[in-house]
Structure 1
Amino acid sequence: MVIAGLIAAPLFTTVFAPSAHAAEAVKIGFITTLSTPAGYIGEDERDGFNLAVTQGGGKLGGVPVELVVEDDGLKPANAKQAADRMVASGIKLFTGVNFSNVLAAVVPGVLEADRFYVSLNPGPSNFAGENCNRNYFVASYQNDAFHTAGGVAANELGYKRVVLLAPNYQAGRDALSGFKRTFKGEVLAEIYTKLDQSDFSVELARVRSLAPDAIYQFHPGGVGINFAKQYANAGLGKTVPMLMPGFSMDARMVAATGASSEGFYTTGIWSTAMDNPASRQFVEAFRKAYGRLPTDYAMQAYDTAQWIGAALKAVGGDLSKGDAFRTALRKADFTSLRGKFSLNTNQHPIQDVYLMRIERSASGDLAPRVVRKVVSDDKDAYAAQCRMPL
């Protein structure tokens, strides 16, 4: 697979294509965040997806593919413009978006054009419930999943009084709603921050004054790195335990925060320490290819590529066979790096969720280590609202 070049457009745009049979390749629109402090997330998603393509010799499921990548700059309007251009150019299959507010701008137009979208990260509640669609699939989780598991974990850890913090956007609101759905103790406060916030001194002062048993917080990417560092620098890490979803302290964030993250609890579907052959091989291959440990985002992107590949194989790469491609996606006939993976009626995953703790390995590296499974065969609460059109 080689870089074919740049396309003139308002956004930074790259096309990754197989070296042969490019005319026969299935184009996949990959809109993601590659700039801003959250850009590393999109980088890991792109690289995880590309690893699967590279391992397949420029193919997924034996079908040549061409990955058309655009940076949305974490701006919904940019992402919508990119998606509209791609739809107009004839692209029928999309993935890549990593924030729920951006996804909300992209998906409606894609689905209205009767194209396919496979989400490799966000799973907002509205698309899982009443706005579910036969051409919309999720490879990661419904947004609440890690958070409902967080509520279960908080109960098991004995936390009775907690403070909740999250950015004030769809995924942040879903996060705290999910936690409250299963948490049996008292929520002292719900604190909403800005998605691009860098200074949390006011919020941390309030946490200190409330003196909770623990906090549950959701801040992904660079915002989460700043939050964790400031939490530790304020001395709260030693007095008020922190519980959070895995994407609020992924492998890149652990490396950036260092000792500040040690001892924090996370919930998630996977970690680099997951002990199964496919996962071990993926971690080794990703590290060899890119010189760093993969995040959960990279794992989800790799799984998404393998899932898409299985469906492309079933239709011989012919996306005009929409019914057959849809049926193949619903079968989810691929080996997930996280272990068990199947689809609920709203085309969101059924999977296990774990409690993890960030600890040092024998070599001294910090990484999430599985403490125990907290939810088996997790199904989101919105599937009952989904009336999936045929």
Structure 2
Amino acid sequence: MKFNAWRAAALGTALAGSALAAQAVTVGLMAPLSGPQALVGQDQVDGFSLAVEQLGGKLGGQPLTLLKEDDQLKPEIGQQIVRKLIDKDKADAIVGLSFSNVLMGSLPRLAESGVVALATNAGPSPIAGAQCKANVFSLAWQNDGAAEAMGKFAQDRGLKRVYLMAPNYQAGKDMLAGFKRFYKGQVIDEVYTQVNQPDYSAEIAQLQAASPEAVFVFYPGGMGINFVKQMSQAGLMGKLPLYSVFTVDGTTLPSLRESAVGTVSGAMYDAALDTPENRKFVAAFEAKYKRTPSLYAATGYDAAQLLDAALRKSGGDAKKLAAAVKAAGGEFKSVRGPFRFGKNNMPVQNYYAFETVRDGGKLATRLIGTPLASHADPYAAQCNLP
């Protein structure tokens, strides 16, 4: 009887363990999937989906339920989606979280819930500093990082007079602040435009009249396509050096084509990076989607890989998942090269400089420097996380 009871208890434990292993993981992926920034959101979805496919449709060995949501780049819609994912769908993790303005609008509910939030396209300075949260991570970048790299790049090149432009929201302000942190020359003007503004002709005329040595801009997605094309139409491309972040990349280059030649971009990733992990990722992405992956696709891909590692570490325990994500950040192999999370759950990573060039009749990007290596953001000291 004792043996049978023990055997029954052991069998019950095994069955419970088996049920736990088979339990589905629910992940919400929120991104702009319509409007001018849809190409940014879709690349995140495609990168994440590719990694999940390579992992056999599972994360942490458990079947995945992936809920894709379109926030339309509107903070109020983002808040509704986050509440739905947390309260109704009981999501184990939320990935993507859109642009900085959408992420900031959802921060109170995310922090209150304790659900792991993994941003793949934002790292606003408040969250990097005093408003850091134990369950909120950026797998992408702290917003200032790539801009800081371009500021250092411009400084190293000896530029004396630079003109700055960005859309008027948190990320735009972070980008220009980052550039100025490392650039010590004269900033002739600092111009903020409306989010999703389609026409920059008036601002380009003012830029031309100011006669700077170079212009630094942050215009992601459709904004970047419009801005660079209008710069080209004004006859400034090739005459006025254009330094940018999140403006000329894998999502915009197919539309920009020749008008992007000669531009220099700061980023933590480009398909041109020559690492074993990236070569495999680029080959798989191009085979599946018939296009070159952008940095947004890379962060989406890394997010799935990181969650897979973290779920294995946590043993499926939701209460341990945030700590597991933090630990796994320093262990999984990112396609971008060296990576770990800092004290504030922001990336510590390389920021590179890439130039768009003609290569055998085709457009390509080439690595021309690493202005900031293993770079941590300046806000971590304000974060009270252990």
TM-score over 0.5 (shorter chain): yes
Equivalent residue, structure 1, for 2:14: none
1:125-164 matches, within 5 Å, as 125-164=125-164
Say which SS state the counterpart of residue 127 (structure 2) adopts: helix
Equivalent residue, structure 2, for 1:304: 303
Equivalent residue, structure 1, for 2:314: 315
Name segments (4+ residues, structure 1) moved above 4 Å.
none
1:1-390 matches, within 5 Å, as 24-89=23-88, 90-245=90-245, 247-319=246-318, 322=319, 324-331=320-327, 332=329, 333-362=331-360, 364-388=361-385
Contact 2:116 2:321 in 1 (8 A): no
Contact 1:63 1:316 in 2 (8 A): no
Say which SS state the counterpart of residue 367 (structure 1) adopts: strand
1:376 shift after superposition: 1.4
Over residues 120-142 of structure 1, what are the superposed CA-to-partner deviations in whole Å (9 max), with x where a residue is unaligned?
11000000000001111111110
Equivalent residue, structure 2, for 1:5: none
Contact 2:28 2:95 in 1 (8 A): yes
Contact 1:61 1:306 in 2 (8 A): no
Greater mean deviation of Cα atoms: 222-231 or 326-335:
326-335
Letter in 2 for 1:115: V
Letter in 2 for 1:268: A
Letter in 2 for 1:139: L
Letter in 2 for 1:355: A
Letter in 2 for 1:278: E
1:372 shift after superposition: 1.2
Contact 2:265 2:355 in 1 (8 A): yes
Structure-1 separation of matches of 2:279 and 2:285: 10
Letter in 1 for 2:196: D
Contact 1:52 1:60 in 2 (8 A): no
Contact 2:238 2:262 in 1 (8 A): no
Say which SS state the counterpart of residue 140 (structure 2) adopts: coil
Letter in 2 for 1:371: I
Over residues 172-227 of structure 1, what are the superposed CA-to-partner deviations in whole Å (9 max), with x where a residue is unaligned?
00011111111010000001111110110110000110000000000000011000
Over residues 273-309 of structure 1, what are the superposed CA-to-partner deviations in whole Å (9 max), with x where a residue is unaligned?
1101110110110111111111100001101111111
Question: How has the CA–CA distance of structure 1 residues 102 and 22 changed in structure 2, closer, same or farther, with 3 Å as cutoff?
Answer: farther
Structure-2 separation of matches of 1:115 and 1:199: 40
Letter in 2 for 1:381: P
* Number of matched pairs: 364
Say which SS state the counterpart of residue 117 (structure 2) adopts: strand
Structure-1 separation of matches of 2:265 and 2:94: 30
Letter in 2 for 1:249: V
1:113 shift after superposition: 1.4
Structure-2 separation of matches of 1:52 and 1:27: 16
Over residues 313-348 of structure 1, what are the superposed CA-to-partner deviations in whole Å (9 max), with x where a residue is unaligned?
1123332xx2x3222211222100011001111111
Letter in 2 for 1:26: V
Contact 1:41 1:297 in 2 (8 A): yes
Structure-2 separation of matches of 1:216 and 1:306: 33
Over residues 220-248 of structure 1, what are the superposed CA-to-partner deviations in whole Å (9 max), with x where a residue is unaligned?
00011000000011011122100011x21
Letter in 1 for 2:369: R
Contact 1:229 1:257 in 2 (8 A): yes
Contact 1:80 1:105 in 2 (8 A): yes
Say which SS state the counterpart of residue 69 (structure 1) adopts: strand
Structure-1 separation of matches of 2:191 and 2:341: 33
Letter in 1 for 2:332: F
Structure-2 separation of matches of 1:111 and 1:250: 32
Contact 1:272 1:367 in 2 (8 A): no
Contact 2:27 2:65 in 1 (8 A): yes
Q: Which structure is larger by alpha-carbon Rg, 1 or 2?
A: 2
Structure-1 separation of matches of 2:370 and 2:74: 36
1:86 shift after superposition: 1.3
Equivalent residue, structure 1, for 2:3: none
Contact 2:22 2:62 in 1 (8 A): no
Stretches of structure 2 that go unaligned for 5 or more consecutive residues are 1-19
Say which SS state the counterpart of residue 310 (structure 2) adopts: helix
1:23 shift after superposition: 7.3
Structure-2 separation of matches of 1:305 and 1:263: 34
Equivalent residue, structure 1, for 2:16: none
1:31 shift after superposition: 1.1
Stretches of structure 1 that go unaligned for 5 or more consecutive residues are 1-20
